[in-house]
Structure 1
Amino acid sequence: MYLENLVFDALDPSRLGRFWEAALDAETLTDEPDGFETRLRHQGGPDLDLCFQRVPEPPSEPLRLHLDVRGGDHQQDTVDRLLGLGARHLDIGQRNVPWVVLGDVETNPFCVMEEREVYVDTGPIAALPLDSRDPARDGELWEWLTGWTPAPGVAPVSLRHPSRRGPLLELCPEPEPKGPGKNRLHLDVRLESGEDPDQVARGIAERGGRELGHGWGTLPWRVYADGSGNEFCVLPARG
């Protein structure tokens, strides 16, 4: 298995997708009325596809997964560029912190980070912080799902692609338990050829996750939640 997609719910997939494509200097894969996809490449490391899928209503749940954009020594220049693309400043109670909180064109919060030694070779996304009730437990599941391995970081558990290129996946203590609504951002992992979907389902359950009933009819992928309720999808092997 490997991490393939970061999936955003969007009222206007093309508008939101083009914002993030410009913000991250990614390349368009698909541009359709109900879906936009763009690929972020990391030389010598993983590709990460950002997928934007249409939903009928704006999200109401607090964000449990977000993007930390790398600012570093050029933090203010990065902030100014993102504001020029349509972002805006957000106050989410952050007070006096060294990072800058912005909202994208659909008001999804994200952070522009200060310089940190652990962000070497991350590319434009420094980290993907994910709320967790039990970072050690959830970290074990996400390490198994993605093939990413423990890496230096500031979160209780930080994982990274074995190439040590691309963003950190950070398991962070949740400020509050997940509500009943679906998270507006989630991750997709892709099976490799020969991997058994039922065996993977058992492995997820053994590591604290569970399969979800979704009521969306027959899908080629399966929907799960980790032990903290964060949704993710397991996509079939290609071909």
Structure 2
Amino acid sequence: MALRLVQVNFKAGDDSALGRFWAEALGWGVSSEGPGVTNVEPVGFDWPAPSAVCVDVVKVPDPETVHYRAHLDLATTSEEHQAELVARLHELGATPADIGQGDVPWTVLADPEGNLFCVLEPRPMYRDTGPIAAVVVNCSDPRAMARFWGEAMDWTLHEVTDDLARLRSAEGVGPYLEFLRTPDSAACGRVHLDLKPYPGGDQAAEVARLRALGATEADLGQGEVPWVCLVDSEGNEFCVLSPG
């Protein structure tokens, strides 16, 4: 049994506008599986595949009530690329954000709906991740998160300390999933993780396995849907999609 991280899910007041922003930011394309849902993924991408974690933007009635602790870090290849990307993101509607980061080499921004993200300075470890360097989740205990998520998914644990846990697809491609120790585990916006079983997998069995690892089911008012909403031991919400 195994699960993989296939997309990050943004809650939005205007899924189409936010989806267009992220498509332009990442250099990807957009599609829609129905009203109120905008999918952002690389052009020609055969979803799901480990080379990319896609973006799924979902319209909700009151996005201001949604507060998750995940955000995206964007990769750059040079200082010039970083400056150009930040300038282009400003033109697309991103705004500077001060979260007390002080004088750091990365740039903190907010997308048009207020979700925080970072444009990193060039770092060798992210040179082959694609435009998304990492999906980052604020937490209190990275070691505990490494234990849970290392068992929850088939991704490989690359690093774990008191301050950071870092996982990546076992195939060594695509972005990293990072759990960053943050004193107050502050909310970053409206982004959570979506996991998916491999073809032929059993969603119910995977959910039972996650519950045995310490996850609990979450009622978000989702009603009758084909996915299951859970929270990990620190209260981070995520969904388990159907295998199909």
TM-score when scaled to structure 1?
Answer: 0.88
Q: Could you say which residue in structure 2 is the equivalent of 1:230?
A: 236
Q: Aligned residues, how many? A: 235
State how far apart, in whole Å, the 2-side matches of 1:153 and 1:135 are. Answer: 7
Paired AA for residue 195 in structure 2: V
1:145–1:189: 8 Å Cα contact kept in structure 2?
no
State how far apart, in whole Å, the 2-side matches of 1:61 and 1:232 are. Answer: 13
Give 1:8 shift: 0.2
- For 1:59, what is the secondary structure of its paired residue? helix
Structure 1 moving runs of 4+ over 3 Å = 60-63, 152-155
RMSD: 2.5
Give 1:71 shift: 2.5
Q: Could you say which residue in structure 2 is the equivalent of 1:7?
A: 9
| Distance 1:178-1:90 versus aligned 2 partners, 3 A rule | closer
Q: Could you say which residue in structure 2 is the equivalent of 1:163?
A: 171
TM-score when scaled to structure 2?
Answer: 0.86
Q: Percent identity?
A: 36
Q: Could you say which residue in structure 2 is the equivalent of 1:17?
A: 19
State how far apart, in whole Å, the 1-side matches of 2:185 and 2:179 are. Answer: 14
Q: Give the gaps of 5 or more residues in structure 1.
A: none
Determine which of 222, 226, 230 is the counterpart of 1:220.
226
State how far apart, in whole Å, the 1-side matches of 2:52 and 2:186 are. Answer: 29
Matched, 1:112 2:119: yes
Determine which of 97, 122, 140 is the counterpart of 2:147.
140
| Distance 1:29-1:153 versus aligned 2 partners, 3 A rule | farther
Matched, 1:46 2:54: no
For residues 54-73 of structure 1, what are the structure 2 equivalents within 5 Å?
54-60=59-65, 63-73=68-78
| Distance 1:201-1:216 versus aligned 2 partners, 3 A rule | same
Moved more, 151-160 or 93-102: 151-160
For residues 74-223 of structure 1, what are the structure 2 equivalents within 5 Å?
74-151=81-158, 156-176=164-184, 184-223=190-229
Q: Give the gaps of 5 or more residues in structure 2.
A: none
Paired AA for residue 220 in structure 1: P
